[in-house]
């Protein structure tokens, strides 16, 4: 469905955008790929790597509806990846986060409808489920805007869906490159916020593949959640180096000990498929009667039990220390540190 299509990605110079575009160019023959972002240096650098004739680079901010509407002219498919994502910084700069993550999301909806874009998927986060921080709250608002947009589309062909997943290995702000930098600088212990902390874990390529497949699955109104493994923070420390220790630094502003992707309060809306979950809309679309139990690929889902929660600490699938090491090496080229701690005199 991507051959011959015009595709726009907001925040396209980020980690996800680069992998998404590399995958599109390798697997498909899109007519045009539009990178929409506000950082001219990142666009310049990206254009040196991605210089295929299909590539277009638009300087613009999702806060700017007029520019966004202009950039979407003739576009068939949109992936909305632009967001302010840093949890503590959002706590200190709440309105800036709201302007980008909420008002920007509404601008994407409005511009998509104005230009008769066919399919839009917005990237979300596990932090939007039962949010305790401003970043998560703004992404929950964004999720609701995109789902409800299907109800106001009216006669438009435009359909909206959301993809929610957990921490991305090696993405901007990820803990693994941060740990690796500390080790490179000679650190023999790594900062840990809580010894019981768990997180969902996914690679960039897995995230991109999941999004691409959901464009083929979506009917409009779904919130897609992949079945992915969890990891324990102390296992990650061990995976970074056999002889590394840790020091407790405490929970950061707005941080959770465990993350949730399918809250128990949404269990009556949640469907389980072979490799993913779908959270159905809580509202009924006035002009659509969609059976979300069967998607456009013919895959069938079943209702989960009432009270079901998909949480990083109760996830049946946990990565081992060895698997974390393999991922660090295969995805990021990082080998576990073998430097022993200095012997005290």
| Residues catalogued as catalytic | 127
- In angstroms, rounded to a whole number, what is the distance separating the alpha carbons of residues 162 and 20? 16
DSSP strand pairing (270-272 vs 302-303): antiparallel
- In angstroms, rounded to a whole number, what is the distance separating the alpha carbons of residues 304 and 279? 10
SS3 of residue 56 by DSSP: strand
| Contact by Cβ (8 Å): 312, 230 | yes
Token pair belonging to 191: 């900062």
Each residue of 329-338: b (16+ CB within 10 Å) or e? eeeeebebbe
Each residue of 13-32: b (16+ CB within 10 Å) or e? bbbbbbbbbebbeeeeebeb
Helix (H) or strand (E) holding 10: strand 6-10
Which of the 8 DSSP states describes residue 252? P
Token pair belonging to 32: 């045009």
DSSP strand pairing (189-192 vs 245-248): parallel
Nearest Cα neighbor of 324 from 313, 335, 310 is: 335
- In angstroms, rounded to a whole number, what is the distance separating the alpha carbons of residues 59 and 68? 10
């Amino acid at each position: 469905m991507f051959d011959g299509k015009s595709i726009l990605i907001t925040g396209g110079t980020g980690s996800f955008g680069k992998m998404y575009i590399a995958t599109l160019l390798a697997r498909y023959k899109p007519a045009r790929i539009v990178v929409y972002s506000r950082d001219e240096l990142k666009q310049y650098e990206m254009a040196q790597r991605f210089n295929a004739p299909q590539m277009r680079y638009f300087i613009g901010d999702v806060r700017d509806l007029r520019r966004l509407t202009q950039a979407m002219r003739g576009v068939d498919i949109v992936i909305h990846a632009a967001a302010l994502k840093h949890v503590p910084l959002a706590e200190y700069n709440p309105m800036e986060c709201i302007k980008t993550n909420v008002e920007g999301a509404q601008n994407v909806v409005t511009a998509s409808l104005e230009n008769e874009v066919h399919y839009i998927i917005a990237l979300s986060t596990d932090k939007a489920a039962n949010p305790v921080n401003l970043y998560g709250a703004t992404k929950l608002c964004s999720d609701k805007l995109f789902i409800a947009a299907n109800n106001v589309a009216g006669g438009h062909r435009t359909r909206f869906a959301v993809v929610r997943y957990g921490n991305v290995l090696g993405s901007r702000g990820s803990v693994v490159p941060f740990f690796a930098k500390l080790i490179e600088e000679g650190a023999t212990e790594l900062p840990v916020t809580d010894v019981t902390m768990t997180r969902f874990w996914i690679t960039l390529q897995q995230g991109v593949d999941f999004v691409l497949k959901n464009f083929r699955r979506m009917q409009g109104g779904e919130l897609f959640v992949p079945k992915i493994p969890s990891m324990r923070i102390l296992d990650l420390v061990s995976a970074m180096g056999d002889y590394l220790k840790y020091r407790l630094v405490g929970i950061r502003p707005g941080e959770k000990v465990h993350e949730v992707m399918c809250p128990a309060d949404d269990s009556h809306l949640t469907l389980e498929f072979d490799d993913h979950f779908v959270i159905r809309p809580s509202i009924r679309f006035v002009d659509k009667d969609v059976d979300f139990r069967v998607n456009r690929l013919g895959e069938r889902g079943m209702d989960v039990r009432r009270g079901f929660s998909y949480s990083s600490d109760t996830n049946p699938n946990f990565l081992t220390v060895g698997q974390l090491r393999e991922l660090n090496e295969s995805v990021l080229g990082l080998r576990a540190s073998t430097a022993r701690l200095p012997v005290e005199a």
